[in-house]
Structure 1
Amino acid sequence: MEIGIGLPGHAPWRDGRILVEWARRAEARGFSTLSVSDRLVWNTPEPLLTLAAAAGATSRIRLLTSVLLGPLRANHALFAKAVATLDQLAGPGRVRLGLSPGSREDDFAVGGVDWDSRGKQLDLLLERLAEPVGLAPATAGGPPLLFGGGSRATVRRIVSHGTGWIAGDATVEDVEGFAPQVRTAWADAGKAGAPRVIASVMYALGPGAEAAVADAIGPYYAFAGEEYSQYGISIAYTSPEQIAAAIPAFERAGCDELIFMGNDPDPGQVDLLADVVLTGR
């Protein structure tokens, strides 16, 4: 199982150059993937722009949106060209797009996109991505697509357009519960190989780890109520022992890659995590 790292885009960062430094350190320390999340009505940086900056600061590490809110990209042709541009800037085989319909209605209200038709809009976007606009991607066939969510529509999109599933802020039980459905549908469709399964979890390390998690996750999940916000905080990983135990547990659950999402903007968090998960690998 590969180990990736996620930018602390939802955390209280204040200087975008810190995120670029995360990218440099993530590659230098040997992480498989650098991911970035997506929200409109939050301080989360725009994913494609952020990964373009990361692409310029690195040369090998894979770049992933985890997950990008596809329906908000209402100009499908412009989005297709933006994806091809990012793929060209990064070079063949580095970019992967994780996509989702979205789960926060305020993002769509501010973005001027109809909330109720977001699933249909995502399906239309997927069809447009298959047709290059003015610029061909560097990766043959374009960047691989993965999908977040836990619905039948998620399974359908994985089978029809994707290469796998992303479980966001996941537990081992989440993966064990949904990944078999994805694999069964994949096999039933006669697709070769197996769908890729990626799980992402929240982390912070060091003396201020628990406070960093509370400060980042608490407000971020406040829209869903106090109980859910506290749940999100409770399942985050804040000690080397917890992180070391999570890796074999997710691997046994069938994950191909586990991504630890940062909650403390300090780039030193990259090194703290690498010292735990990459030493001796």
Structure 2
Amino acid sequence: MDIGIGLPGHARWSEGTTLMEWARRAEARGFSTLSVSDRLAWSTPEPLITLAAAAGATSRIRLLTSVLLAPLRANHALFAKAVTTLDQLAGPGRLQLGLAPGAREDDFLLSEVDYGTRGKQFDQLLDRLAAITASDGPVGPQPATPGGPALLFGGNSKATLRRIASHGTGWIAGDATVQDLQDFAPQIRQAWKTAGRAGSPRLVASVMYALGPDAEAAISDAIGSYYAFAGDEYAQYGISIAYTEPEQIIAAIAAFDQIGCDELIFMGNDPDPAQVDLLAEVIGL
């Protein structure tokens, strides 16, 4: 199982150079993937721009949106151009797009994008992206990765299963537990098989972490405020399942690996780049 790391973009960071130091350290320590989350109504950095900077600061590590709120990108051709440009900047096979319809209505209100039809808009975007990345048409550049970057889809709906089977390479689960994967993975594999897809869908899970003497305070501050929109109970649940001790992290890796997870990504909650090294030391990178 691959082990990736996520930028602490939803935490209280103040300088973009800090995130690029995370990227450089993540590659130097041997993490498989560098991911970045997405929100409009928050200080989270824009994912494609952030990964473009990370692409310039690194040369090997995979780059992942985890997850990008796809329907907010209402100009589908312009979105496809941004994706193919980033794929060119990163080089073949490095960029992966984790995509989801989004669950927070305020992100859509601020975008003046209709929340109620976001699923339909998402499907239209996917069709346009596929058409542009597969042809040498007027919208360029062409992607460095043949056919465009790999697509992973978030969510646990029937529409998610359909999108994985028709456009995707697999599933990405945020704030995931082992039980989440055990519950949904059989449905993904069945949808994949029914669609006649070769091979197996990729299963990626992301979890929250912070390490060191201030880990619990960092988790409470970052996650508590980030998920406050869903109420205190949900925020406290997010805090409770985050990892703050080396023993928890080692146990999580073993548990996710045992159930067939292909990649586990630890999302940062403390902006200090030393967090990259602390995690690397715990898992032996």
Aligned ranges for residues 254-265 of structure 1 at < 5 Å? 254-265=260-271
Sequence identity, in percent? Answer: 77
Q: Deviations over 1:233-277 (max 9, x none)?
A: 000000000000000101112200000000000000000000011
In the other structure, the counterpart of 2:209 is: 203
- Corresponding residue number in structure 1 for 2:89: 89
Task: Return the alpha-carbon distance in structure 1 between the equivalents of residues 56 and 11 of structure 2.
Answer: 23
Alignment of 1:57-206 (within 5 A): 57-132=57-132, 133-206=139-212
Q: Tell me how far 1:184 sits from its aligned partner.
A: 1.1
Partner Cα separation in structure 1 for residue 181 and residue 224 of structure 2: 23
Residue 217 (1) aligns with residue 223 (2): yes
What is the identity, as a one-letter code, of the residue corresponding to 1:9? G
- CA distance, structure 2, for counterparts of residue 150 and residue 141 of structure 1: 26
Aligned residue pair count? 279
Give CA-to-partner distance per residue, 1:99-126, whole Å, 9 cap, x none: 0000100000001100000000100000
Structure-2 separation of matches of 1:274 and 1:184: 35
Superposed counterparts of 1:239-254, under 5 Å: 239-254=245-260
Q: Is the CA contact (8 Å cut-off) linking 1:167 and 1:198 kept in structure 2?
A: yes
In 2: Cα distance, 1:115 partner to 1:278 partner: 44
Residue type matched to 1:63 in 2? L
**What value does the CA root-mean-square deviation take over the aligned residues?**
0.6
Deviation of 1:48 after TM superposition, in Å, equals 0.1
Aligned to 1:71, the other structure's residue is in SS state helix
Deviates more, 1:52-61 or 1:180-189: 180-189
**Mapped contact 2:219–2:242 kept (Cα < 8 A):** yes
Q: Counterpart amino acid of 1:273?
A: L
> Is the 2:84–2:140 Cα contact (8 Å) retained in structure 1?
no
Question: How far did residue 188 of structure 1 move?
Answer: 1.7
When normalised by structure 2's length, the TM-score is 0.97
Q: Contact between 2:71 and 2:119, CA under 8 Å: does it hold in 1?
A: yes
Contact 1:30–1:278 (CA under 8 A) maintained in structure 2:
no
Distance in structure 2 (CA, Å) of the matches to 1:277 and 1:150: 29
Q: Distance in 1 between matches of 2:112 and 2:166?
A: 28
SS of aligned partner of 2:71: helix
4+ residue segments displaced more than 2 Å: none
Residue 131 of structure 1 aligns to a residue in which SS? helix
TM, length-normalised to structure 1: 0.98
For residues 153 and 190 of structure 1, what CA distance do their matches in structure 2 show?
17
Identify the residue that residue 136 of structure 2 maps to in structure 1: none
Give the match for residue 269 of structure 1. Answer: 275
Distance in 1 (alpha carbons) for counterparts of 2:69 and 2:205: 17
Aligned equivalents of 2:259, 2:69: Cα separation in 1? 27
The alpha-carbon deviation at position 171 of structure 1 amounts to 0.5
Give unmatched runs, 5+ long, in structure 2: 133-138
Deviation per CA, 1:50-80, whole angstroms, max 9, x where unpaired? 0000000000000000000000000000000
